[in-house]
Amino acid sequence: MSDPLPLAGRVALVTGASRGIGYAAALGLAQAGAHVIATARTQGGLVELDDAITAATGQGATLVPMDITDGDAIDKLGGAIFERWGRLDILVSNAGELGLLTPIGHLDPKIWDRAVAVNMTATYRLIRSVDPLLRKADAGRAIFLTSGAASLPRAFWGAYAATKAGMEALVRVYADEVEHTPVRCTLLSPGPMRTRMRMTAFPGEDPADLTPPEAIMPLVVELARADSEPPILQNFVDWRERSAD
């Protein structure tokens, strides 16, 4: 008899799910048995994800095309999840905005505002919307993708570094607030991966030298398990090295 799927019967929301790490996370959660609610701005990418999930599991995903900066849409999504499932077991907050690598003094305010909206404000709105749903789960798991730039900022990364640092602060505050509940939060730092954002930030890199996003799937599933006690900060590279020992 095969082992039961570790996330069978659980409901997962993944943002930024149309490509890269979000796509891989959504597919990995579905393969582990979860029903995936996938959001992204790109309808075509969501359809491709749904096709992949259906091919792998025989079950489709719930697709929600939306801009993560639309706070009203986030609130409506939370209400719709409550009406259909009454809870949310897993959140993977992956949508992110690099902004522009440029000196702070040259940074266009519109680019700054977009980075703040995607990386910080949307995180607040997501937490605000799904917190009651995570608390209704028997073991809510909230995973937020972060970056080493948040703790080790460097020249020209002002918009991304500052807003990711702000996002991390929000998540740590929320983790403290839910400490005495079954909800657990994790800041997941993937390290260098073969994503569009990485290619934009480092156009001279050879994509073949980078880890594919699919490699993070087992870690996301591990962090999402109800029987896990996930850490507040998890670095993928460190996890992979420990797993290889």
Strand order in the sheet with 35-40: 62-65, 35-40, 11-14, 90-93, 141-145, 184-189, 233-235
On whether the CB atoms of residues 39 and 15 are closer than 8 A, the answer is yes
Check whether 204 has a pLDDT greater than 80: yes
pLDDT of residue 141: 98
Largest CA-CA distance found in the chain, in angstroms, rounded: 62
Is 160 one of the catalytic residues? yes
Q: Is 23 within 8 Å of 17 (Cβ atoms)?
A: yes
Q: 């940074």: which residue's tokens?
A: 107
Structure confidence by residue, pLDDT tens digits, 42-72: 999 999 999 999 999 999 999 999 999 999 9
Q: Residue 56 is encoded by which pair of tokens? A: 């792998």
Return the H-helix or E-strand segment holding 198.
helix 196-201
Q: What is the pLDDT of residues 70-89, one digit of tens each?
A: 999 999 999 999 999 999 99
DSSP per-residue codes, 104-161: GGG--HHHHHHHIIIIIIHHHHHHHHHHHHHHHSSS-EEEEE--GGGTS--TT-HHHH
Per-residue pLDDT band for 3 (boundaries 50, 70, 90) equals: low
How much is the pTM? 0.95
pLDDT, tens only, 101-123:
999 999 999 999 999 999 999 99
